[in-house]
Structure 1
Amino acid sequence: MNQHQYDRIMAAIDDAHACDPRQDKASDTPYELAYARRMSEWLERVAPDADAELRVAARAQHFRRWESPREDYPMTRPGYHAWRTDLQKRQASLVAELLSEEGVTADEIGRISALILKQNIKTNPEMQALEDTIALAFLDHYVEAFAEEHDDDKLGRILARTWAKMSAHGHQLAGTLTFSPRLSRIMAEALPAAD
Protein backbone atom coordinates (compact mmCIF):
# COMPACT_ATOMS: atom_id res chain seq x y z
CA MET A 1 0.00 0.00 0.00
CA ASN A 2 1.47 3.35 -0.97
CA GLN A 3 1.23 6.55 1.08
CA HIS A 4 -1.58 7.96 -1.07
CA GLN A 5 -3.66 4.80 -0.57
CA TYR A 6 -2.93 4.77 3.15
CA ASP A 7 -3.97 8.40 3.60
CA ARG A 8 -7.20 7.87 1.66
CA ILE A 9 -8.03 4.70 3.60
CA MET A 10 -7.46 6.31 7.00
CA ALA A 11 -9.59 9.29 5.95
CA ALA A 12 -12.36 6.97 4.74
CA ILE A 13 -12.29 5.06 8.04
CA ASP A 14 -12.54 8.32 9.97
CA ASP A 15 -15.35 9.56 7.72
CA ALA A 16 -17.30 6.37 8.46
CA HIS A 17 -16.68 6.68 12.20
CA ALA A 18 -17.78 10.32 12.11
CA CYS A 19 -21.28 9.03 11.21
CA ASP A 20 -21.69 7.34 14.60
CA PRO A 21 -24.74 9.02 16.17
CA ARG A 22 -23.39 8.44 19.68
CA GLN A 23 -21.10 11.01 21.24
CA ASP A 24 -17.97 10.46 23.30
CA LYS A 25 -18.46 12.78 26.26
CA ALA A 26 -14.78 13.24 27.03
CA SER A 27 -13.86 14.41 23.53
CA ASP A 28 -17.22 15.72 22.26
CA THR A 29 -16.75 13.77 19.03
CA PRO A 30 -18.58 10.76 17.58
CA TYR A 31 -17.97 7.77 19.84
CA GLU A 32 -16.26 5.45 17.36
CA LEU A 33 -14.16 8.26 15.89
CA ALA A 34 -12.80 8.96 19.38
CA TYR A 35 -12.15 5.25 19.88
CA ALA A 36 -10.33 4.92 16.54
CA ARG A 37 -8.08 7.88 17.32
CA ARG A 38 -7.28 6.47 20.76
CA MET A 39 -6.39 3.14 19.18
CA SER A 40 -3.96 4.88 16.82
CA GLU A 41 -2.44 6.86 19.69
CA TRP A 42 -1.88 3.72 21.74
CA LEU A 43 -0.49 1.80 18.79
CA GLU A 44 2.16 4.52 18.46
CA ARG A 45 3.28 3.68 22.00
CA VAL A 46 2.96 -0.09 21.66
CA ALA A 47 4.57 -0.45 18.22
CA PRO A 48 5.99 2.84 16.91
CA ASP A 49 7.43 1.02 13.87
CA ALA A 50 4.08 -0.57 12.91
CA ASP A 51 3.51 -0.91 9.19
CA ALA A 52 0.54 0.51 7.30
CA GLU A 53 -1.49 -2.70 7.53
CA LEU A 54 -1.30 -2.83 11.32
CA ARG A 55 -2.12 0.89 11.55
CA VAL A 56 -5.18 0.43 9.35
CA ALA A 57 -6.34 -2.59 11.37
CA ALA A 58 -6.02 -0.64 14.61
CA ARG A 59 -7.92 2.35 13.24
CA ALA A 60 -10.67 0.08 11.86
CA GLN A 61 -11.14 -2.21 14.90
CA HIS A 62 -14.68 -0.94 15.52
CA PHE A 63 -15.53 -0.11 11.92
CA ARG A 64 -19.21 0.99 11.81
CA ARG A 65 -19.77 -0.98 15.02
CA TRP A 66 -22.85 0.99 16.06
CA GLU A 67 -24.73 -0.53 13.10
CA SER A 68 -24.73 -3.93 14.86
CA PRO A 69 -25.88 -3.24 18.43
CA ARG A 70 -25.36 -5.69 21.26
CA GLU A 71 -29.09 -5.54 22.00
CA ASP A 72 -29.81 -7.43 18.76
CA TYR A 73 -28.46 -10.60 20.40
CA PRO A 74 -29.57 -12.50 23.52
CA MET A 75 -28.24 -10.89 26.70
CA THR A 76 -26.40 -14.05 27.68
CA ARG A 77 -22.76 -15.12 27.52
CA PRO A 78 -23.35 -17.18 24.33
CA GLY A 79 -25.27 -14.21 22.91
CA TYR A 80 -22.32 -11.94 23.67
CA HIS A 81 -19.87 -14.30 21.95
CA ALA A 82 -22.15 -14.63 18.91
CA TRP A 83 -22.39 -10.84 18.68
CA ARG A 84 -18.60 -10.42 18.92
CA THR A 85 -17.94 -13.11 16.29
CA ASP A 86 -20.51 -11.69 13.86
CA LEU A 87 -19.25 -8.19 14.50
CA GLN A 88 -15.65 -9.07 13.69
CA LYS A 89 -16.68 -10.83 10.49
CA ARG A 90 -18.84 -7.88 9.44
CA GLN A 91 -16.12 -5.35 10.22
CA ALA A 92 -13.46 -7.36 8.36
CA SER A 93 -15.76 -7.66 5.34
CA LEU A 94 -16.62 -3.95 5.26
CA VAL A 95 -12.98 -2.93 5.64
CA ALA A 96 -11.91 -5.41 2.94
CA GLU A 97 -14.45 -3.82 0.59
CA LEU A 98 -13.07 -0.35 1.34
CA LEU A 99 -9.50 -1.56 0.80
CA SER A 100 -10.40 -3.26 -2.46
CA GLU A 101 -11.94 -0.04 -3.76
CA GLU A 102 -8.62 1.68 -3.03
CA GLY A 103 -6.66 -0.92 -5.02
CA VAL A 104 -4.98 -2.57 -2.05
CA THR A 105 -3.50 -5.99 -2.87
CA ALA A 106 -5.21 -9.22 -1.87
CA ASP A 107 -2.27 -10.10 0.41
CA GLU A 108 -2.53 -6.78 2.25
CA ILE A 109 -6.30 -7.14 2.58
CA GLY A 110 -5.78 -10.64 3.96
CA ARG A 111 -3.33 -9.41 6.59
CA ILE A 112 -5.63 -6.59 7.70
CA SER A 113 -8.67 -8.89 7.76
CA ALA A 114 -6.79 -11.45 9.89
CA LEU A 115 -5.93 -8.71 12.38
CA ILE A 116 -9.51 -7.47 12.58
CA LEU A 117 -10.67 -11.08 13.04
CA LYS A 118 -8.05 -11.51 15.81
CA GLN A 119 -6.49 -14.58 14.24
CA ASN A 120 -3.29 -16.16 15.58
CA ILE A 121 -3.09 -13.99 18.68
CA LYS A 122 -0.34 -16.01 20.34
CA THR A 123 1.80 -16.60 17.23
CA ASN A 124 1.53 -13.33 15.29
CA PRO A 125 3.56 -10.45 16.83
CA GLU A 126 1.39 -7.90 14.99
CA MET A 127 -1.74 -9.45 16.47
CA GLN A 128 -0.18 -9.30 19.92
CA ALA A 129 0.65 -5.62 19.39
CA LEU A 130 -2.95 -5.01 18.37
CA GLU A 131 -4.24 -6.95 21.39
CA ASP A 132 -2.05 -4.81 23.67
CA THR A 133 -3.35 -1.68 21.95
CA ILE A 134 -6.97 -2.73 22.45
CA ALA A 135 -6.38 -3.50 26.12
CA LEU A 136 -4.49 -0.27 26.79
CA ALA A 137 -7.10 1.89 25.07
CA PHE A 138 -9.71 0.18 27.25
CA LEU A 139 -7.73 0.63 30.46
CA ASP A 140 -6.86 4.23 29.67
CA HIS A 141 -10.22 5.52 28.47
CA TYR A 142 -13.07 3.12 29.24
CA VAL A 143 -12.43 0.93 32.26
CA GLU A 144 -13.60 3.42 34.91
CA ALA A 145 -17.05 3.81 33.33
CA PHE A 146 -17.15 0.04 32.72
CA ALA A 147 -16.33 -0.55 36.39
CA GLU A 148 -19.40 1.40 37.50
CA GLU A 149 -21.61 -1.23 35.80
CA HIS A 150 -20.09 -4.31 37.46
CA ASP A 151 -19.48 -5.69 40.93
CA ASP A 152 -15.95 -6.27 42.19
CA ASP A 153 -15.87 -10.03 41.50
CA LYS A 154 -17.04 -9.77 37.89
CA LEU A 155 -14.77 -6.82 37.23
CA GLY A 156 -11.80 -8.70 38.66
CA ARG A 157 -12.46 -11.66 36.35
CA ILE A 158 -12.77 -9.38 33.30
CA LEU A 159 -9.57 -7.54 34.17
CA ALA A 160 -7.71 -10.82 34.72
CA ARG A 161 -8.81 -12.06 31.26
CA THR A 162 -7.76 -8.76 29.68
CA TRP A 163 -4.38 -8.91 31.43
CA ALA A 164 -3.78 -12.49 30.31
CA LYS A 165 -4.12 -11.42 26.65
CA MET A 166 -1.42 -8.77 27.02
CA SER A 167 2.33 -9.10 26.54
CA ALA A 168 4.98 -8.10 29.08
CA HIS A 169 5.45 -4.88 27.07
CA GLY A 170 1.72 -4.19 27.33
CA HIS A 171 1.86 -4.78 31.07
CA GLN A 172 4.70 -2.28 31.39
CA LEU A 173 2.73 0.36 29.50
CA ALA A 174 -0.33 -0.35 31.65
CA GLY A 175 1.84 0.37 34.67
CA THR A 176 2.05 4.01 33.55
CA LEU A 177 -1.72 4.47 33.97
CA THR A 178 -3.50 5.81 37.04
CA PHE A 179 -6.76 4.31 38.30
CA SER A 180 -9.37 5.10 40.94
CA PRO A 181 -8.81 3.63 44.42
CA ARG A 182 -11.51 0.98 43.88
CA LEU A 183 -10.13 -0.10 40.53
CA SER A 184 -6.56 -0.10 41.84
CA ARG A 185 -7.62 -2.39 44.69
CA ILE A 186 -9.49 -4.78 42.38
CA MET A 187 -6.55 -4.92 40.00
CA ALA A 188 -4.11 -5.61 42.82
CA GLU A 189 -6.27 -8.49 43.97
CA ALA A 190 -7.13 -9.93 40.53
CA LEU A 191 -3.92 -9.55 38.55
CA PRO A 192 -0.72 -11.58 38.90
CA ALA A 193 2.43 -9.96 40.24
CA ALA A 194 4.24 -7.62 37.85
CA ASP A 195 6.25 -9.21 35.02
Structure 2
Amino acid sequence: MDKLQKAFALFDAYNQQDPFTLVWDGVTYPSEYFYAIELYNWILKLEPQASEAVLLASRSQHIGRWTIPRNTYPDGKAGYLNWRSDLSKFHAQKAGELMLQAGYPDDFIADVQRIILKQKIKLDAEVQLMENALCLVFLQFQFQNFIQKHTDEKLIHIIKKTWNKMSQPGHSAALTLPYSEKADALLGQALG
Protein backbone atom coordinates (compact mmCIF):
# COMPACT_ATOMS: atom_id res chain seq x y z
CA MET A 1 0.00 0.00 0.00
CA ASP A 2 1.43 3.39 -0.93
CA LYS A 3 1.52 6.44 1.35
CA LEU A 4 -1.68 7.92 -0.07
CA GLN A 5 -3.67 4.73 0.50
CA LYS A 6 -2.17 4.35 4.00
CA ALA A 7 -3.19 7.90 4.86
CA PHE A 8 -6.70 7.39 3.48
CA ALA A 9 -7.03 4.18 5.52
CA LEU A 10 -5.89 6.00 8.68
CA PHE A 11 -8.22 8.97 8.07
CA ASP A 12 -11.16 6.70 7.30
CA ALA A 13 -10.57 4.50 10.34
CA TYR A 14 -10.45 7.59 12.54
CA ASN A 15 -13.63 9.08 11.06
CA GLN A 16 -15.44 5.75 11.30
CA GLN A 17 -15.25 6.21 15.09
CA ASP A 18 -17.74 9.08 14.85
CA PRO A 19 -20.59 8.19 17.26
CA PHE A 20 -23.01 10.28 15.18
CA THR A 21 -24.53 8.62 12.16
CA LEU A 22 -26.58 9.56 9.14
CA VAL A 23 -28.60 7.53 6.71
CA TRP A 24 -28.14 8.11 2.98
CA ASP A 25 -29.91 6.02 0.37
CA GLY A 26 -30.91 3.54 3.07
CA VAL A 27 -27.34 3.00 4.34
CA THR A 28 -26.16 4.16 7.78
CA TYR A 29 -22.72 5.82 7.94
CA PRO A 30 -20.61 7.45 10.67
CA SER A 31 -21.28 11.11 9.81
CA GLU A 32 -17.75 12.45 9.39
CA TYR A 33 -16.70 9.38 7.42
CA PHE A 34 -19.60 9.94 5.00
CA TYR A 35 -18.85 13.65 4.59
CA ALA A 36 -15.11 12.99 4.06
CA ILE A 37 -15.86 10.52 1.27
CA GLU A 38 -18.35 12.91 -0.34
CA LEU A 39 -15.91 15.83 -0.07
CA TYR A 40 -13.26 13.70 -1.77
CA ASN A 41 -15.79 12.77 -4.48
CA TRP A 42 -16.60 16.44 -5.10
CA ILE A 43 -12.90 17.30 -5.38
CA LEU A 44 -12.54 14.66 -8.10
CA LYS A 45 -15.67 15.89 -9.91
CA LEU A 46 -14.45 19.49 -9.88
CA GLU A 47 -10.80 18.70 -10.64
CA PRO A 48 -10.10 15.15 -11.86
CA GLN A 49 -6.35 15.92 -11.82
CA ALA A 50 -6.38 17.28 -8.23
CA SER A 51 -3.04 17.17 -6.46
CA GLU A 52 -2.21 14.58 -3.84
CA ALA A 53 -2.21 17.35 -1.21
CA VAL A 54 -5.81 18.33 -2.05
CA LEU A 55 -6.94 14.71 -2.08
CA LEU A 56 -5.43 14.18 1.37
CA ALA A 57 -6.93 17.40 2.68
CA SER A 58 -10.36 16.40 1.40
CA ARG A 59 -10.34 13.13 3.31
CA SER A 60 -9.18 14.84 6.52
CA GLN A 61 -10.77 18.31 6.31
CA HIS A 62 -13.11 17.70 9.28
CA ILE A 63 -11.42 14.66 10.79
CA GLY A 64 -12.64 13.90 14.30
CA ARG A 65 -15.05 16.86 14.30
CA TRP A 66 -17.26 15.19 16.93
CA THR A 67 -14.45 15.35 19.52
CA ILE A 68 -14.92 19.11 19.99
CA PRO A 69 -18.70 19.67 20.31
CA ARG A 70 -20.17 23.08 19.52
CA ASN A 71 -21.97 23.14 22.88
CA THR A 72 -18.62 23.28 24.71
CA TYR A 73 -18.27 26.90 23.51
CA PRO A 74 -20.44 29.92 24.37
CA ASP A 75 -23.53 30.67 22.30
CA GLY A 76 -23.36 33.45 19.74
CA LYS A 77 -21.11 34.43 16.89
CA ALA A 78 -17.90 34.82 18.93
CA GLY A 79 -18.33 31.36 20.47
CA TYR A 80 -19.05 29.89 17.06
CA LEU A 81 -15.99 31.50 15.48
CA ASN A 82 -13.71 30.34 18.33
CA TRP A 83 -15.09 26.81 17.97
CA ARG A 84 -14.48 26.82 14.20
CA SER A 85 -10.95 28.16 14.65
CA ASP A 86 -10.07 25.54 17.28
CA LEU A 87 -11.62 22.81 15.13
CA SER A 88 -9.54 23.79 12.09
CA LYS A 89 -6.34 23.65 14.13
CA PHE A 90 -7.36 20.26 15.54
CA HIS A 91 -8.14 18.88 12.06
CA ALA A 92 -4.79 20.07 10.71
CA GLN A 93 -2.92 18.62 13.68
CA LYS A 94 -4.71 15.24 13.56
CA ALA A 95 -4.27 14.96 9.79
CA GLY A 96 -0.58 15.74 10.22
CA GLU A 97 -0.15 13.05 12.88
CA LEU A 98 -1.80 10.42 10.70
CA MET A 99 0.11 11.47 7.59
CA LEU A 100 3.36 11.15 9.54
CA GLN A 101 2.32 7.58 10.41
CA ALA A 102 1.69 6.96 6.69
CA GLY A 103 5.24 8.08 5.88
CA TYR A 104 4.79 11.65 4.59
CA PRO A 105 7.56 14.22 5.18
CA ASP A 106 6.96 17.36 7.24
CA ASP A 107 6.99 19.77 4.28
CA PHE A 108 4.28 17.81 2.47
CA ILE A 109 2.22 17.61 5.67
CA ALA A 110 2.50 21.39 6.02
CA ASP A 111 1.12 21.78 2.48
CA VAL A 112 -1.93 19.66 3.32
CA GLN A 113 -2.41 21.57 6.58
CA ARG A 114 -2.36 24.87 4.65
CA ILE A 115 -5.33 23.61 2.63
CA ILE A 116 -7.18 22.33 5.71
CA LEU A 117 -6.66 25.71 7.41
CA LYS A 118 -7.91 27.47 4.24
CA GLN A 119 -4.93 29.81 4.11
CA LYS A 120 -5.09 32.40 1.28
CA ILE A 121 -8.48 31.08 0.23
CA LYS A 122 -9.19 33.46 -2.66
CA LEU A 123 -5.54 33.48 -3.82
CA ASP A 124 -4.74 29.76 -3.72
CA ALA A 125 -6.46 27.60 -6.36
CA GLU A 126 -6.20 24.43 -4.23
CA VAL A 127 -7.74 26.10 -1.19
CA GLN A 128 -10.52 27.55 -3.37
CA LEU A 129 -11.14 24.11 -4.87
CA MET A 130 -11.55 22.75 -1.33
CA GLU A 131 -13.94 25.56 -0.42
CA ASN A 132 -16.04 24.89 -3.53
CA ALA A 133 -16.25 21.20 -2.62
CA LEU A 134 -17.12 21.96 1.01
CA CYS A 135 -19.96 24.25 -0.06
CA LEU A 136 -21.26 21.63 -2.49
CA VAL A 137 -21.27 18.96 0.23
CA PHE A 138 -23.25 21.38 2.40
CA LEU A 139 -25.76 22.15 -0.35
CA GLN A 140 -26.19 18.54 -1.42
CA PHE A 141 -26.28 16.77 1.94
CA GLN A 142 -26.92 19.27 4.76
CA PHE A 143 -28.93 22.22 3.48
CA GLN A 144 -32.26 20.39 3.58
CA ASN A 145 -31.82 19.81 7.34
CA PHE A 146 -31.09 23.53 7.81
CA ILE A 147 -34.41 24.33 6.12
CA GLN A 148 -36.24 22.52 8.91
CA LYS A 149 -34.36 24.42 11.66
CA HIS A 150 -34.14 28.04 10.48
CA THR A 151 -36.29 30.90 9.23
CA ASP A 152 -36.38 31.79 5.54
CA GLU A 153 -34.51 35.02 6.30
CA LYS A 154 -31.66 33.13 7.99
CA LEU A 155 -31.59 30.52 5.19
CA ILE A 156 -31.32 33.21 2.52
CA HIS A 157 -28.40 34.71 4.46
CA ILE A 158 -26.75 31.26 4.65
CA ILE A 159 -27.17 30.72 0.89
CA LYS A 160 -25.69 34.13 0.07
CA LYS A 161 -22.74 33.50 2.37
CA THR A 162 -22.18 30.03 0.89
CA TRP A 163 -22.41 31.40 -2.65
CA ASN A 164 -19.85 34.12 -1.90
CA LYS A 165 -17.36 31.49 -0.70
CA MET A 166 -17.47 29.67 -4.03
CA SER A 167 -15.85 30.49 -7.35
CA GLN A 168 -17.44 29.94 -10.78
CA PRO A 169 -16.83 26.15 -10.94
CA GLY A 170 -18.58 25.79 -7.57
CA HIS A 171 -21.50 27.95 -8.72
CA SER A 172 -21.90 25.92 -11.90
CA ALA A 173 -21.88 22.62 -9.99
CA ALA A 174 -24.30 23.94 -7.37
CA LEU A 175 -26.83 24.83 -10.05
CA THR A 176 -26.88 21.19 -11.25
CA LEU A 177 -27.88 19.74 -7.85
CA PRO A 178 -31.40 18.47 -7.29
CA TYR A 179 -33.14 20.57 -4.63
CA SER A 180 -36.48 20.31 -2.89
CA GLU A 181 -39.12 22.84 -3.92
CA LYS A 182 -38.48 24.85 -0.76
CA ALA A 183 -34.69 24.81 -1.23
CA ASP A 184 -35.09 25.79 -4.88
CA ALA A 185 -37.34 28.71 -3.94
CA LEU A 186 -34.88 29.89 -1.27
CA LEU A 187 -31.98 29.67 -3.75
CA GLY A 188 -33.99 31.72 -6.21
CA GLN A 189 -34.65 34.40 -3.60
CA ALA A 190 -31.05 34.45 -2.39
CA LEU A 191 -29.45 34.58 -5.82
CA GLY A 192 -32.02 36.89 -7.37
State the TM-score, normalizing by the size of structure 2: 0.96
Q: Does 1:167 pair with 2:167?
A: yes
Offset of residue 146 of structure 1: 1.4
Q: Deviations over 1:107-166 (max 9, x none)?
A: 211110011111110100000100000001111111101111110001101110100010
The 3-state SS of whatever aligns with 1:25 is: strand
- Aligned counterparts of 1:161 and 1:122: Cα–Cα separation in 2: 14
Q: Deviations over 1:48-91 (max 9, x none)?
A: 10011100101111101100000100121110000000000011
AA in 2 matched with 1:15: A
AA in 2 matched with 1:20: D
Report what 2:188 is aligned to.
Answer: 188
Q: Does 1:12 pair with 2:10?
A: yes
The 3-state SS of whatever aligns with 1:138 is: helix
AA in 2 matched with 1:53: A
Report what 1:133 is aligned to.
Answer: 133
- Aligned counterparts of 2:134 and 2:23: Cα–Cα separation in 1: 20
- Aligned counterparts of 1:84 and 1:130: Cα–Cα separation in 2: 16
AA in 2 matched with 1:16: Y
Which consecutive segments of 4 or more residues in structure 1 shift more than 3 A?
A: none
Report what 1:142 is aligned to.
Answer: 142
Offset of residue 178 of structure 1: 1.6
Report how many residues are paired: 190
- Aligned counterparts of 1:185 and 1:102: Cα–Cα separation in 2: 46
Q: Does 1:73 pair with 2:69?
A: no
AA in 2 matched with 1:178: P
Structure 1's unaligned 5+ residue stretches are none
Structure 2's unaligned 5+ residue stretches are none
Cα RMSD of the aligned pairs, angstroms, is 1.1
Report what 1:119 is aligned to.
Answer: 119
Q: Does 1:179 pair with 2:185?
A: no
Report what 2:94 is aligned to.
Answer: 94
The 3-state SS of whatever aligns with 1:29 is: strand
- Aligned counterparts of 2:102 and 2:171: Cα–Cα separation in 1: 36
Offset of residue 189 of structure 1: 1.2
Report what 1:25 is aligned to.
Answer: 23
- Aligned counterparts of 1:31 and 1:56: Cα–Cα separation in 2: 18
| Percent of matched pairs sharing the same residue | 34
Farther-moved stretch of structure 1 (117-126 vs 101-110): 101-110
Q: Deviations over 1:83-111 (max 9, x none)?
A: 00000001101111111222212221111
